[in-house]
Amino acid sequence: MIKKDISREEIKQRVLEFVVANSKYYSEYEANFILKNCLWGMNSCFVPDILRQIYDDLDLLDDSKNIYNGFIDFLRQNFDLDQDIIEVGGGRTISGIAKRIALGQNKGTVTVYDPLLFQTKTDIPNLILKKKTFFRKTNIANAKLIYGFMPCFATKTIIEAAADRKINFAVALCDGYHERYDDIYSDYSWHDDMMFLAEKFIRNNDLGSLGVTDLKNYDDPYPVLYNKRLSKFKKIVYNKNLKK
């Protein structure tokens, strides 16, 4: 949600300047959509990705109502972020999620993949930007966590890539409409399919159990999927029970 003390005129002006400065990266349709809907974030934390990236980049959002911060809190609570991490589908602007994680790291790096990235230069030494598509077989060296925030088509790729390497993953799902166009899925069955897929890969690769949470505090109706590792203690008890 946009900070209460920013006026409608200021929002319109700053978004317009942003779109003009970056016009080569947007189609005419996209630019029109952004300008027409630039006040959307005054009433909701949950806005289309093309808008939330601009709001975040321009620092227009209230920190406590910025959905990227909600996702980072969730990652912090569930994973060690002081290690090499991959973000898939960070968006066109420098991912606000990756940037904040990288700034908070005591060690490790965050590498972001997105073919739509505007730029690949950053002042943050441990933040690496790759203007590339991420594939299941992409070489990610020693990374220990792959995450995506509404990465659309790459949801499945993230789960498969993490499972192949037996490393952790977390994905905030989007609406799934992109899959619906090919008449295979409704949005809800797409969510179910992603859950079944995640559960199967977690089970077959000893990644713990399927964790499902949400970001409903940020008006996001869709689930967040991740693998929940057993603690060392629980693992010993679990293995003992298995042997009985």
Contacting residues toward ligand SAM, per CB under 6 A = 49, 52-53, 88-91, 113-116, 133-134, 149-154, 157, 174
- Phi-psi category of 153—alpha, beta or left, where left has phi over 0 and alpha has psi -120 to 50? alpha
Alpha-carbon span 62 to 3, nearest angstrom: 5
**Minimum distance from CB of 69 to ligand SAM (Å)?**
13
Q: State how far the alpha carbon of 62 is from the alpha carbons of 2, 75, 93, 98, 161, in Å.
A: 6, 20, 19, 18, 34
* Sign, CA torsion 148/233/235/213: negative
**Rounded Cα–Cα distance for residues 52 and 49 (Å):** 5
For the bound state, the minimum distance from the C-beta of residue 140 to ligand SAM, rounded and expressed in Å, comes to 12
Of 78 and 95, which CB lies nearer to ligand SAM in the complex structure?
95
Q: Record the tokens describing residue 74, joined without a space.
A: 């969730």
Which of 22/229 has CB closer to ligand SAM? Answer: 22
Please, what is the minimum distance in Å from the beta carbon of residue 91 to ligand SAM? Answer: 3
Closer residue to ligand SAM (CB): 151 or 208: 151
**Nearer Cβ to ligand SAM (29/233):** 29
By Cβ distance, which residue is nearest to ligand SAM?
89
User: Minimal distance in Å, beta carbon 187 to ligand SAM?
Assistant: 14
Q: Which residues pair with 242 in a beta bridge?
A: none
90 or 208: CB nearest ligand SAM? 90
Q: From the CB of 197, what's the least distance to ligand SAM, in Å?
A: 16
Work out the end-to-end distance of the chain between its first and last CA atoms, rounded to an integer number of angstroms.
53
